[in-house]
Structure 1
C-alpha cells in the first residue's frame, strides 16, 4: 500500500488540496480523495483527522461522523488486502462550500509548517507492513467510537487529532508520531470514561 505517493509532509498534502479545481463552488469528498489518491492509507487518515480538527469544517454537524465512516471503510478494505479503496457514491457526493474549505485549510497552514519541522524517519518498523495493519485496526476502533463522541465536548477533536497523528506517522514514516497518536487515543478514551461514569 503506497502511503506517500502524494507527498511526505503536511504542507505537501495541503498543497495537493489547494490545487483542486478553484472554480468550483463546493468541495466534495470525491474531490479530496482524488487529490490525495485512492491508494494512500496514511494521507486518507491524515486528511480525515485534519478535517475533523479544522475550525469551520470540523464544526459542521455530522462532519466527524462522515469522516469516521470514511476511516472505517478505508481501514476495513486495507485489512482485507485491497490495493485501491472503494467508497460509496453517497459519501463521495457529500460536500461543503469552497469558502469554508479554504478557510479551514488556511487555519491549518501555520501549525503544519511547525509540525513538518519536527518530522523525521524514526522507529520505521512501526510504519511497516504489520505496523500499518495494527494502525488500521486502531483506526477502525476510533471510527466506531466517533459518532457518539459528537455529543461529548472535545472528544471528537481528540479522535481527529489521533487520526491526524496516525496518518502523519505513516506518511512521514515516523514511528514516534504513531506512538503519540496511540497515547492521545488512550487519553481521549480516559476522558470519555470520566464523562460517562
Structure 2
C-alpha cells in the first residue's frame, strides 16, 4: 500500500489513490483513507467531494450518504481536537469494484489538470487554525444536508463540488477556493429550499 500525506494539488491526490491496491478486485473506503492519511482533513474532504461529484461512482445509490457520513465524522472529530480521525468499520469496509473505481479516476484526470492550473496560495489566513474550523462547520452542515439531496436532482452534485472546493482550498492553501466552496454551498441550500418549499 501507498501512503502520501504531502499531496499539494488534485493530481497528486489522484495519483495517490490511483496507485493503491492495484491488484485488488475491489476498493474500500479504508483503502482510500489509508492512501490519503488519517490526519489529512483537506484530502479526505476532497476525496469525499470527488466521489460524490464523479458520475460513475457518485451515481451509485447510497454513495452520497456514505460520503456524508465520512465528512460528518471527520468534521466532528476535527472540531473536537482529534489529531487522527477514527472511522467505524461498517464505513471503512464499504467498497466498489476496482473497474468502476478506475473508470471514475480516469474521468477525473483531465479536469484535474485544468483545476490545478488555477490553484495558487491566496488568502492563506483562511486556511489557518480558525479557517480550518470554520470550514469544518460548513462541512458538517453539508454532510447533514446530503442524505435528502439524493432525492433532489443535481443537488448532491452541488454538495460534492462544494466539498471538492473546500478540500482543494485546504490542500493548496487557496483561500479563494474556500470562499467559492462556501458560496456554492449557500447556492445549493437555496436550490434545495426552492425545490422543497
Q: Distance in 2 between matches of 1:6 and 1:141?
A: 27
Alpha-carbon distance, 1:5 to partner: 2.7
Distance 1:91 1:26 in 2: 15
Contact 1:123 1:175 in 2 (8 A): yes
On the 8 A contact 1:43/1:171 being kept in 2, the answer is: yes
Question: Could you tell me the TM-score, scaled by structure 1's length?
Answer: 0.97
Q: Report the secondary structure of 1:61's partner residue.
A: coil
Q: 1:41 is matched with which residue?
A: 41
Measured in 1, the distance between the counterparts of 2:157 and 2:57 equals 12
Residue 101 of structure 2 corresponds to residue 105 of structure 1? no
| Counterpart mapping for 1:65-84 below 5 A | 65-84=65-84
Which residue in the other structure is 1:27 paired with? 27
- Structure 2 residue runs of 5 or longer lacking an equivalent are none
Please report how far the alpha carbon of residue 55 of structure 1 lies from its aligned counterpart in structure 2 after TM superposition.
Answer: 1.9
Q: 8 Å contact 1:43–1:167 — kept in the other structure?
A: yes
1:17 and 2:22 matched: no
- Secondary structure, in 3 states, of the residue corresponding to 2:6? coil
Counterpart position of 1:138: 138
Give the RMSD, CA atoms, in angstroms.
0.8
Report matched runs for 1:57-68 at 5 Å: 57-68=57-68
Once the two structures are TM-superposed, the CA of residue 6 in structure 1 deviates from its matched residue by 3.2
1:6–1:37 CA contact under 8 A, matched in 2: no
- Deviation per residue, 1:102-156 (Å, 9 max, x gap): 0000000000000000000000000000000000000001000000000000000
Tell me the SS of whatever aligns to 1:57.
helix
1:114 and 2:114 correspond: yes
Contact 1:127 1:175 in 2 (8 A): yes
The residue that corresponds to 1:123 in the other structure is 123
Q: Distance in 2 between matches of 1:117 and 1:100?
A: 27
Q: Which residue of 2 aligns with 1:5?
A: 5
Q: Kindly indicate whether residue 185 of structure 2 is the aligned counterpart of residue 185 of structure 1.
A: yes
The corresponding residue for 1:171 is 171
Structure 2 length-normalised TM: 0.97
How many residues align? The count is: 194
**Aligned counterparts of 1:55 and 1:146: Cα–Cα separation in 2:** 16
Query: Structure 1 stretches of 5 or more lacking a match?
Result: none
